Amino acid sequence: TNEREMQSKEKEANEFAINTLIPNSQFEQFNIYKKFSDQAIAKFAEDQGISSSIIAGRLAHKTKSWGKFAHLRKRLVFKNTV
């Protein structure tokens, strides 16, 4: 189903972000201080060379606080090209 495909793509994107976009050692170092202000997230993202949306998504996923970082996350819409 379409819902199942979306969940599969979301899981794949999460795993890619966790394993590829943000080195775990760097993320754990950032996570130690629990300073998740917009400025801290933006600075860490800049240091990593990635969008703050990716950091916000990883924090939301890790903390299960989906609303807390929602304003920093950009929603992607995929077009069906088939």
pLDDT in tens, 52-62: 998 998 888 88
1 pLDDT band, cuts 50/70/90, is low
Q: Half-sphere exposure (CA, 13 Å, Cβ side) for 32?
A: 6
Measured between alpha carbons, how far is residue 66 from residues 1, 63, 73 in Å? 25, 8, 10
**Could you tell me the pTM of the whole model?**
0.69
**Residue 44, pLDDT above cutoff 90:** yes
Each residue's pLDDT tens digit, 9-21: 888 887 877 778 8
